[in-house]
């Protein structure tokens, strides 16, 4: 007795195998467009799922009497016990110390300059976390509900959506925006952008790299220290590299984005140094950083985007504003 | 009709797989539901349609990953072709009889796909951890698959008789 084999099985298997191998061979070129299309296609379903989960959580919290924020159960606090307020204060303190030192060194300029609006505006676009990429033995990226249509670009940094915690401003000679946004926790950066969605590469992912700067405590307050490169270590932690052995480093130092010339107009918080080793013959420190964002349960994040000020580029028109809730960051005015 | 149902199921499975870290208690676990759709496609068709659908499901699974695209599709197509070739009378048995086959298929699919991804991205994986992770994920997939099958049967039972017969033929 013989079993009849299904028709067209071998040609179908061979052709589909050929397609799969071709995709593998040209993965570098075709992966991003295919993934972007798929993510955009899944966006409505993920948004519906997100709303359903929020509704169920809200109902459960209401039933159990647990306090909620906007219907969503409050996220766990960051692993860093110092908390966002202290991170922000450290950044503010270091920045003021730097300006004080600069003023003392250079003196007061005899002529007074007039301030003008900056050419490049920095904005934070609020984005909702919709899901996660699957990964084999490592962490995949998060899917966000904002994409190219909202002006999101690849490699843009992403910060956590901590509520403004500081209530100091004019009395402390701080400019608008600085106290609120400085010291926010960096969550990662945008890896790929679709039309309506994008993916967030976590700070701890193997491919993550960014400029970083130490903030350490001195007798005159907090001060900016050496600059280096922070890299994801893929095991839930980060490494701080390119810090010369001559630079002072100690456990507990804060690691921030660059205060000047970086992606942000203000330093944002990566995490803190948990181990620093210097081998006798080494020219650079071997530093382990505990990311502040590693234990956050992300639901809403904010993506930094930059755009030219339409009033400077074309004074006649204000220019179209992309959709999405945005907050403008005014850089500190130069004296 | 079967194609429409499977397309909807594939979409729903992709949404659940991508969004699962948001609603699982630990915030980390991903429910791998797409392999269950792959198994379902093998029980809906006898021949080449099962292989084509396996390729589509594999491609969707690839799209949700952060590694090279095409690896899941390759695994899915080869496994589907193998199962259709070696087990042509599978549709004559009930799903309970086929449960070990389905479980084995999901396990092998996840194992080969992850192993291939690790090789392609030149990463080192510990065999013990990989096996235990795959076993846990495969069990999740099977549970999700059984729940999906119950829902599918419930939907089918609500359809008019002619469409129901067309769906089950």
pLDDT value at position A323? 43
Q: Do B125 and A129 touch (CB under 8 A)?
A: no
pLDDT value at position A196? 78
Interface of A with B in 132-161 (CB under 8 A): 132-138, 140-141, 143
Reading chain B (169 residues) residue by residue, the pLDDT tens digits are 778 888 888 898 888 888 887 777 776 777 888 888 888 788 777 778 888 888 899 889 888 877 778 888 888 888 888 888 777 666 666 665 667 777 777 778 777 877 777 777 666 666 666 677 777 777 777 777 777 777 767 777 777 776 666 665 5
CB of A313 less than 8 A from some CB of B? no
CB of B77 less than 8 A from some CB of A? yes
Interface of A with B in 37-76 (CB under 8 A): 38-39, 42, 45-46, 48-50, 53
| Contact residues, chain B, for A49 at CB < 8 Å | 15-16, 19, 22-23
User: What's the 3-state SS for chain A?
Assistant: CCCCCCCCHHHHHHHHHHHHHHHHHCHHHHHHHHHHHHHHHHHHHHHHHHHHHHHHHHHHHHHHCCCEECCEECCCCCCCCCHHHHHHHHHHHHHHHHHHHHHHHHCCCCCCCCCCCCCEEEEEEEEEEEEECECCCCCCCEEECCCHHHCCCCCCEEEECCCCCCCCCHHHCCCCCHHHHCCCEEEEEEEEECCCCEEEEECCCCCCEEEEEEEEEECCEEEEEEEEEEEECCCCCEEEECCECCCCCCCCCEEECCCCCCCCCCCCEEEEEEEEECCCCCCECEEEEEECCCCCCCCEEEEEEEEECHHHHCCCCCCCCCCCCEEEECCCCCC
Distance, in angstroms, between A45 CA and closest chain B CA?
6
A97-118 per-position pLDDT tens digit = 777 776 666 666 566 666 566 6
pLDDT value at position A225? 81
Residue A71 has pLDDT above 80, yes or no: no
Distance, in angstroms, between B40 CA and closest chain A CA?
18
Q: What is the ipTM of this complex?
A: 0.74
CB of A2 less than 8 A from some CB of B? no
The answer to which of A151-165, A200-214, A220-234, B54-68 has the lowest mean pLDDT is A151-165
| Contact residues, chain A, for B60 at CB < 8 Å | 38
């Amino acid at each position: 007795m013989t079993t009849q084999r299904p028709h067209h099985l071998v040609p179908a298997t061979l052709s589909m195998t050929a397609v799969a191998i071709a995709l593998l061979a040209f993965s570098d070129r075709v992966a991003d467009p295919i993934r972007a299309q798929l993510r955009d296609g899944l966006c409505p379903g993920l948004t519906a799922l997100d709303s359903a989960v929020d509704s169920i959580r809200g109902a459960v919290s209401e039933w159990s009497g647990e306090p909620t924020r906007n219907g969503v159960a409050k996220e766990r606090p960051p692993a860093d016990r110092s908390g966002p307020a202290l991170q922000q204060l450290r950044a503010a303190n270091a920045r003021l110390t730097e300006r004080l030192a600069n003023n003392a060194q250079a003196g007061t300029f005899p002529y007074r300059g007039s301030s003008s609006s900056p050419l490049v505006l920095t904005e934070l676009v609020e984005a909702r976390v919709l899901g996660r990429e699957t990964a084999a033995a490592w962490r995949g990226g998060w899917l966000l509900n904002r994409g190219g249509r909202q002006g999101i670009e690849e490699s843009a940094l992403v910060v956590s959506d901590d509520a403004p915690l500081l209530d100091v401003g004019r009395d402390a000679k701080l400019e608008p925006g600085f106290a609120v946004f400085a010291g926010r926790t960096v969550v990662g950066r945008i890896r790929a952008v679709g039309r309506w969605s994008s993916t967030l590469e976590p700070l701890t992912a193997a491919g993550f790299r960014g400029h970083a700067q130490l903030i350490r405590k001195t007798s005159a307050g907090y001060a900016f220290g050496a600059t280096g490169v922070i890299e994801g270590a893929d095991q839930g932690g980060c490494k701080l590299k390119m810090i010369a052995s001559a630079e002072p480093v100690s456990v507990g130092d804060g690691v921030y984005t660059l205060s000047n010339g970086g992606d942000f107009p203000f330093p944002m918080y990566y995490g803190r140094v948990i181990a620093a080793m210097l081998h006798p013959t080494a020219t650079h420190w071997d530093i382990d950083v505990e990311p502040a964002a590693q234990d956050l349960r992300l639901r809403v994040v904010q993506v930094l985007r930059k755009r030219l000020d339409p009033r400077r580029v074309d004074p006649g028109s204000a220019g179209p504003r992309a959709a999405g809730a945005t907050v403008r960051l005014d850089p500190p005015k130069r004296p | 009709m079967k194609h429409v149902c499977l397309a909807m199921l594939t979409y729903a499975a992709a949404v659940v797989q991508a969004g699962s870290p948001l609603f699982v208690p630990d915030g980390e676990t991903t429910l791998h539901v797409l392999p269950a759709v792959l198994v379902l496609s093998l029980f809906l068709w006898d021949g080449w349609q099962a292989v084509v659908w396996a390729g589509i499901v594999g491609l969707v699974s690839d799209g949700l990953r952060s590694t090279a695209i095409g690896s899941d599709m390759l695994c899915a197509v080869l496994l589907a072709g193998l199962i259709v070739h070696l087990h042509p009378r599978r549709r004559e048995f009930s799903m309970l009889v086929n449960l070990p086959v389905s479980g084995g298929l999901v396990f092998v699919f996840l194992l080969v796909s992850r192993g291939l991804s690790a090789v392609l991205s030149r990463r080192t994986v510990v065999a013990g951890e990989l096996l235990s992770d795959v076993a846990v994920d495969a069990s999740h997939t099977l549970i999700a698959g059984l729940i999906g099958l119950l829902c599918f049967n419930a939907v089918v039972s609500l359809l008019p008789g002619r469409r129901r017969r067309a769906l089950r033929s």
